[in-house]
Each structure stands twice: as C-alpha cells, then as structure tokens.
A and B are shown apart, each in its own frame.
Chain A
Amino acid sequence: MSTSQTSTRTPVEHIPQVKMSFGRWFKEKGWRHVVAIAATLFSIFPLVYVLSAALNPTGTMAGTTSLFTNVGLQNFVDLFSDPDRPFGKWLINTLVIGLTASAGTVFLGACAAYAFSRMRFAGRRFSLLALLLLQMFPQLLAVVALFLLLNYLGDIIPAIGLGTSLGLIMVYLGGALGVNTYLMYGFFNTVPQSLDESARIDGASHMQVFFRIILPLVTPILAVVGLLAFIGISSDFVIASVVLTDPDTQTLAVGLYSYVAQQRSENWGVFAAGAVLAAVPVMALFLYLQRYITSGLTSGSVKG
C-alpha cells in the first residue's frame, strides 16, 4: 500500500487556500464531510441502538422511542442468572473452542506454510493449487455430511462425537489449511532464506529454525490469522448449532440465537446485553490489529 502522500498531490493544493468561499469549500471538502457523517451514522446507529437496549432496564423491545432514556445494569444481572440459558458457560465454551481451534489453525497453517515456503518437493505445486481450490468451498456446505460423520465417530470414540466440543474443534481444524496457509505462505516468503541457512550452518535443526527463527519473525501474520480464525469460528452458527445441542455446551452464536429465536421482543434487553459482551472484546482486538488485517485482506481473502 503506498503512502497517503501520493494522494495529496491533487491540484487543489496548488490553489491558495487562504480565502475560500463556502460554495468553493463545500465543493472541495464540505461534501466529503457530509458523506462521511452520513456513512458514519449509518455504521454506528445499530451499534448505538444495541448498547442502549442493553442498558435499558425495561428489558423488552416494545415502547422504546428514544435512546438511553433509562440506564441500568439489570439486563446484565439477568443475563448471568438464567439457568436455562447459561450465558457464562456459553462465553467460556466460545473462548475454549475458539482459542483452541484458532491456535490449532495457526499452528497447522504455519507448519504447512513453512513446508511450502522453504522446501521443494514433488507435488508441491499441486498441493498449493489444491488448497487454493478447496478454500473456495466453505465447510458449512458439507454440514449434513459433517453431522453424520460426527455421529458415526461418536459411536467409535464417544469423546469426539456429536455434542462434544472436541468433535467441533476437530471439524474446524479441517478448515485450518486454505486461506490461512496462503496468507502465511506469502508472509513466510518475505523472510530471507539466508537467515535459516546461516542458522543451519550453526547447527540448528529444522525444528529450531522453524520455532526459533521463522515463527518469531512472522508473529504479525500469526496474530492476524489467529484473530481471523477466532472471529470466523466464534461466529459460526451452522456447524456449531448442528453439533452442539445441549445448552450447557453451546457457544455464544448458538445460545444467543436461541435467546431471540422464539420470543424476540420479550428477551430483547438481555439479548442486547449478551451481544454487547460478546462483541466488545472482538471489536477491540479487531481495531487494535486493524492495520495488519487490512493489509492481509487486500492480499486476497474475505472475512469468513
């Protein structure tokens, strides 16, 4: 991405900006502010609304005609005290499943990217192409097969059958290669080969080169892939809803959906509180890593 300096060299700059009439100002810059404000309002209005609903102690959707008229934390209290809908457990399940699966994704992806980037072997080009093709088919397309597969596996090894977090994590790991490997492969290629060669000469094993030299140098892409994987996994509804049926084992996506699936209006306040708690950490991390993510995205992937 080139720097923003290139874009400043518009002819407007050559015109002295001392006295600008309103019309002129509007034509050059004012309309941009109008557009920006409109876009910003469009973007944040639903988010502000959900925050307001979360803080509104009335708890229902009906009768809300203005934002932030009543403010209280009752919804958050209710959220953690419903034994039929254990939000706390959902949060923990989501964290456990999301973190384990995304850590696994990063590790498997990094191993594969290391092999593709540093080694030349028969079938390498074919494997890369196959990955490129396979990543076009999201796993949720095969949800029926995955359901039946886990059902079968559960008869053999109950610990990875339907209804288990471990089974779900393994399914997610099936999507670990693909987009992620591509992102990492590109990044690994930017680390000069001479580094690992010199380490090899000093007697490092291939594992030491991988863990001690390459991985520390590619931390940014590991963070990005980890975050993208975590976002993707924690917002997966299709596979999680099919695999996890017991409320105690469900994730946030499945659980929060059940909150409003039947009675959207009555549970609205509590749902909104849950939504805020679920979204804030992800959004904070996302904004923190925004720069890396956007550069990763521009090089060819979509939020999944």
Chain B
Amino acid sequence: MNGESTSTRGAVAPAAGPKGTGRGGRRLPTNPDGMIGIVAKILLLGFVDAIAAFALFQLAINGEWLVFAVSLIVTIGINWIYLRRGGLPAKYLAPGILFLLLFQVFAMVFSTYIAFTNYGDGHNSSKEDAIDSIQLSALERVPDSPQYAATVLDDGGELALLVTDPDGNVSVGTAEEPLEPVESAQLDSTGKAVGLDGYTTLAFGDILARQGEVADLVVPISDNLDDGTLQTQDGSTAYVFKPRLVYDEAADTFTDVSSGKVYTDSGEGTFQAEDGSTLGVGWKINVGFDNFVRAFTDQNLRGPLLSVILWTFAFAGISVAATFALGIFLAIAFNRADLKGKRIYRILMILPYAFPAFLSGLVWSGLMNAEFGFINNAILGGAYIPWLTDPVLSKISVLIVNIWLGYPYMFLVCTGALQSLPEDVEEAARIDGAGAWTIFRVIKLPLLLVSLAPLLISSFAFNFNNFNVIYMLTGGGPRFDDTNLDIGATDILITMVYKVAFGGAGRDYGLASALAIIIFIVVGVISAISFRKTKALEEIN
C-alpha cells in the first residue's frame, strides 16, 4: 500500500516542483520520462475533456438533460481520478472499465429495457414525433385554394420561400419558420415579390439544379400545422396544402377530413380507427411482458421458437460432445513420440482452427451446394443431395462443419491434458492387468473430464451463440412452413435474434431483445455451473 502511494507521487511531484529534487531526491530523481509522462497525461486528459465538452454542448442543445448529467458526472470523475494523488488502481482500470460499462454492461441493461417495449419499425420514437410525422406525411393540396406567386430564396444554404398572395401581401418563411409578413421586398412589374435584402434569389437554373430540395420545401402558414402549408413544384407558384389527417389535441385523436374516420390512441403505440385500421407511424411504448407472452403464445412464433430453442441446445451439446470425442481419440492416437510425421500431421490437422470462422461457413456452403457443389458434383459423381436445403440433412451438415471447425481445438487441449496425467496411475492399472480400453475408460477419461470440465462448459456456451457457422452456411434455412417469419430448421437463438431485429422488412427490436434475454438467462445458468466447476475462484486472491 505504501509503495503505491509513494510511486504515485513520483508521477505527480515533478509537476508540483519543477525539478522535483527539492524533496526526496533519492526517491524522486529528475528524469525526462517523468516529464514526458506528465505532458502525455495532460495532453490525453485535455483531449478527453475537449471531446467531453463538445459532447456536453451537443447534449445541451438537444435538450438531453439526463444524459447530460450522467456525462458530466463521468467527465468530472475521470478528471478526479487522474488529477488526484493516490488512487493508483483506478488510474489503470478506469479506461477499460469505462468502455466495459458503456458497451457491455449498459448495452445489456438497455437490451433488457428494449425487451419490454414495442421498439421497431413503425414504433421508433416518441408520441410527439409520431404526431408530427403523421401530420407532415398526410399533406394534400386544398381544392380551390388561393395560388401564391412564389420566389425561392437562399439563406446561407437553407431555402426560404418568398410569396405574394392574391391580394398582393408579401411574406417569407422557411421549413422551420412559419410565414412572416415583410414590407421591404423588391417587386417586379406585376407586383410579385422577387427579392429580399439579406437573401439571394435563386435563378431559374439554380432552381433546376436544386429541384429536389425545392420540391421538398414545406413552409407552414402559421404555427398551427392545421392551417396548412405552402409548397411549390416549379419554384414560381405555391399552393396551400393541408393535412388530410387533423390532430385534435384535446381529444388526442386524428380525424381524416375526407372520410371523417376518427383514429384514437389504441394504447398500443398506434392511432387506431374503430374498424381496426391503424395509421402507419406509431411510437414507442412500454408493453410489459407482451413480447415474451407473444413469443410463447403467438401461433406464428411459438412452434418455430420452441424448435429453435431445442435445436440450439442440441447443436451446442452435440458439437461439444462430438468435437471432444474426436479430439480425445486423435490425442490418444497421436500420443506416441515415435510416430513418424507427427509434426506434419499435427500442423495440417489444426489448420481449420486457424482458418477464419466466417469464411469456413461460406466455403462449406459452396462445397455442399446441391446443384453445383463439389461434394455432389465431383466426389459423389453428380448426385443431387440437398445438403443445405433438407430440414434434417441441413442440421447434420451444420454439425459436420462445426465439428470440422472445432475438433482441432479439442485435439490440442486434450493432448495437453493427456500429457499432464500422472504416469504411475496408468502403470499401476496395467500391472493389475487392465487393458488399454479399461485404462482409458476408468482412469484416463475421468481424470481428463475433471481437468477439462471448465473448457467443455465454456465451449458449450460459445457454441450456444455460434452465429457465424449457422448464418454463413445455411442462413438458418430451410425455412419452416408453419410461419411467415424468416426462421428455419438450422436457426439457433442468436441467428433468430439477428433476423428478427435486422432481417429486412418489419424490424422488431422489442421481440429480438426479448429473445436475447432468453439467451442471457441460459448463459447465466451455464456460467453459474461453470463457476462451481472452475478453480478460478480459488485462484483469485
């Protein structure tokens, strides 16, 4: 303890006294490294603070006060850790732990939160955002409304619309700023306003060049969106557009002006009419255990999900058992020093382990392709065996590839464990007349299992989430018949999570996170078991 506090002063002291020789010269000699260390520290801390200041500023602008407060506390904490004396362990641990907290611990907590919401396509943000977005998306031109003579202006990159109404009143507005009357506009001979001080008028050529921008320009007539907006297609005439759906703030409903249909808040994050139809844009709400309930009751989901869960366990279990069996068999076969060519065999054999895992799945998917694949075409002489498209065969194929990937690892660890077994036990057994098989079964295997149990458990946990093999080889297919979701016979939980969350149309983050929580629980149980088995606990001290 004392040693650390003195050494901390070693780093800080030179900053306090220019030379550091004044006190404790023997303990704190002047050396350039100390100075470099200080300078590096100040620069790094300054760099971090600069980024933090920028982030805090941005957060304040966006009104994210909760995140602002947390970030501020973290920033102050970092400065406190590195500027104070002592507290050396924190100085070494802080960076790693900071990343760990944000991108692992917080990510897991956040996943759990998402699992209890309906977050996903159509439910992306708050209710206010959804209301704004519905109002803007349902604009249509008001029939027989007045025409405005329009001029498009540029205000430092942002477009503004200068309009003259049929009575000759001139006003200007942008996408953010509703129309404001102006007096000082330059008028042309017809009384149309064509320019305004402080703005650049877009010439015809400019309008053509920025046509998309001009067409997208929506200028509100007043603060209330229900009064309508002005839009121009050609840059010279603007028309009044009004939302087809009008929001009634007091009743919290949308009314379709043309059909009179009323959409009310359904309580499920959408506006719903009496006939059951809903508006496309919804918002994020907490749905409690709905995602979990849905996963296990929805006809479209329940069957496939149960199959996927069973297959995930089977896949991980069989993979570990088979690679271990193969690995130990090979380790025993190779466990002779006088085997010729042992080194060559060994290097060639462990090559799959060195081959990047994501490539293995892709390469094997080519080998096993039913139509063009090398296995069917060349080795089996043109047979058509649906290695990857038959529900049962695809499972076997996935296992074969995973065994190919995993057995070299098991071979390596079994070899290591086998060589560290005490020789005398085996000799004693042999003297007692035990055969090779009995020695293996009764003596070697139990001893190996004891020393390799933690590895087998972590191998199970790894294969439980072995995304790459499945996704690259079969993509989870062939698809189940009894569901319209993209889930198939070889999908394991993690590939299902990925597909539900990011698989093209209908992203459902809520459901995906709920599935991820099922994995959390399984992994948690596995690690609880492995904690009991490992000696790691005893080693920590």
Within 8 Å of chain A (Cβ to Cβ): is B276?
Answer: no
Say yes or no: is A190 at the interface (Cβ < 8 Å to chain B).
no
A176 cross-chain contacts in B, Cβ below 8 A: 96, 99-100
Tell me the bound Cα distance from A197 to B351 in angstroms: 43
Is B95 a contact partner of A111 (Cβ separation < 8 A)? yes
Assess the B58–A6 pair: CB atoms within 8 A.
Answer: no
CA distance A141 to B498 in the complex (A): 9
Complex contacts, B455 vs chain A, CB 8 Å: 298, 300, 302
Question: What mask results when residues 107 to 120 of chain A are scored 1 for a CB within 8 Å of chain B, else 0?
Answer: 01101101100011
Q: Is the CB of B62 within 8 A of A156?
A: yes
Q: Is the CB of A231 within 8 A of B99?
A: no
Q: Which of A181, A235, A295 has the most CB of B within 10 A?
A: A235
Shortest CB distance B32–A (Å): 11
Contact among B58, B114, B516, B520 with A156 in the assembled complex (CB-CB below 8 Å): B58
User: How many angstroms between the C-alpha atoms of A110 and B58 in the bound complex?
Assistant: 33
Contact flag A49-B374 (CB < 8 Å), given A174-B103, A279-B359: yes
Q: Which residue of the partner chain, among A115, A209, A242, A260, contacts B365 with CB atoms under 8 Å?
A: A260
> Is the beta-carbon distance between B1 and A46 smaller than 8 angstroms?
no
Query: Of the candidates B345, B351, B413, which one forms a contact with A47 in the assembled complex, judged by CB atoms under 8 Å apart?
Result: B351
- Judged by a CB distance under 8 angstroms, whether A275 is at the interface is yes
Asked whether, in the complex, the Cβ of B356 is within 8 Å of the Cβ of A235, the reply is yes
Interface residues of A in 24-46 (CB under 8 A from B): 29, 31-33, 35-37, 39-40, 42-44, 46
Could you tell me if A40 and B105 are in contact, using CB atoms closer than 8 angstroms?
no
Q: Does B306 contact A (CB under 8 A)?
A: no
Of B51, B372, B523, chain A has the most CB atoms within 10 Å of the CB of B372
Question: CB distance B354 to A142 under 8 Å?
Answer: no
Are B359 and A300 interface neighbours, CB within 8 A?
no
Is A1 in contact with chain B by the CB < 8 A criterion? yes
Separation in Å of the B387 CB from the closest CB of chain A? 13
Which of A31, A43, A275 has the most B CB atoms < 10 Å from its CB?
Answer: A43
- Asked, given contacts A32-B336, A53-B366, A136-B526, whether A174 binds B516 with beta carbons under 8 Å apart, the answer is no
A interface, size bucket: 35 or more
Q: A44-B351, A47-B352, A149-B107 are in contact. Are A8 and B92 (CB under 8 A)?
A: no
B339 contacts partner chain A, Cβ-Cβ < 8 Å? yes
Contact of B351 among A43, A297, A301 (CB under 8 A): A43
Chain A residues within 8 Å of B363, by CB: 46-47, 49-50, 272, 275
Quick check: A203 and B62 within 8 Å, CB to CB? no
CB pair B458 A302 closer than 8 Å: yes
- Evaluate contact between B93 and A175: CB separation under 8 angstroms: no
Instruction: Take A46-B363, A125-B540, A283-B354 as given contacts and tell me if A302 and B459 are in contact as well, using a CB distance cutoff of 8 Å.
Output: yes
Asked if B334 is at the interface (CB within 8 A of a chain A CB), the reply is yes
Evaluate contact between B337 and A8: CB separation under 8 angstroms.
Answer: yes
CB distance from A61 to the nearest CB of B (A): 4
Q: Which residue of B lies closest to A132 (CB)?
A: B536
B540 touches A206 (CB 8 A): no
Residue contact B458 to A301, C-beta cutoff 8 Å: yes
Using CB atoms, name the residue of chain A closest to B7: A206
**0/1 interface trace, chain A 1-19, chain B, CB 8 Å (1 if under):** 1111111111110000000
Q: How far is the CA of A265 from the CA of B368 in the complex (A)?
A: 12
B339 touches A29 (CB 8 A): yes
Contact between A137 and B96, CB atoms less than 8 A apart = no
Measured between C-beta atoms, what is the minimum distance from B344 to chain A in Å? 8
- Residue A173, interface by CB 8 Å: yes
Task: From known contacts A141-B516, A235-B358, infer whether A205 and B11 are also in contact, taking CB-CB under 8 Å.
Answer: yes
One of A62-70, A72-80, A82-90, A216-224 at the interface = A62-70
> Is B498's CB under 8 angstroms from A143's CB?
yes
A114→B465 CA distance, assembly (Å): 31
Q: How far is the CB of B36 from chain A (nearest CB, A)?
A: 10
Residues 372-396 of B, flagged 1 when their CB comes within 8 A of A and 0 if not, give 1110011000000000000000000
A103 at the interface (CB under 8 A from B): no
Task: Please judge, given known A-B contacts A44-B348, A171-B103, A287-B354, whether A297 and B365 are in contact too, CB under 8 Å.
Answer: no
B462 within 8 A of A: yes
Contact of A124 among B4, B89, B364 (CB under 8 A): B89
Residues of B within 8 A of A181 (CB): 96
Option from A60, A137, A155, A203 in Cβ contact (under 8 Å) with B27: A203
Assess whether A39 is in contact with B330, with CB atoms less than 8 Å apart.
yes
A287 cross-chain contacts in B, Cβ below 8 A: 347, 354
Nearest Cβ distance between residue A260 and chain B, in whole angstroms?
6
Which single residue of chain B is at the shortest CB-CB distance from A118?
A: B4
Distance in angstroms between the alpha carbons of A228 and B29 in the assembled complex: 40
Query: Chain B residues with Cβ under 8 A from A303's Cβ?
Result: 353, 357, 409, 462
Residues of chain A within 8 A of B494, CB atoms compared: 140-141, 238
Q: Which residues of B contact A295 (CB under 8 A)?
A: 416
* A294 B412 Cβ-Cβ under 8 A: yes
Closest Cβ–Cβ distance, residue B326 to chain A (whole Å): 8
State whether B104 touches A175 (Cβ < 8 A): yes
The reply to whether A141 and B519 contact each other, CB–CB distance below 8 Å, is yes
User: Could you say which residues of chain A place their CB within 8 Å of the CB of B408?
Assistant: 43
Contact A235 B357 (CB under 8 A): yes
Q: Does A109 lie within 8 Å of B333, measured CB to CB?
A: no
Interface string of B37-55 (1 = CB under 8 A from A): 1000000000000010011
Chain A residues closer than 8 Å to B139, beta-carbon distance: none
Further pairs besides A109-B96, A174-B102, A207-B33: 18, Cβ < 8 Å: A8-B336, A31-B333, A32-B333, A40-B348, A50-B363, A60-B372, A121-B89, A133-B527, A133-B531, A134-B105, A139-B104, A144-B512, A149-B110, A156-B64, A170-B103, A238-B494, A268-B366, A300-B454
The 11 listed contacts between A and B (C-beta, < 8 Å) are A29-B338, A47-B363, A50-B363, A64-B374, A108-B96, A121-B89, A148-B509, A174-B102, A206-B7, A237-B472, A298-B416
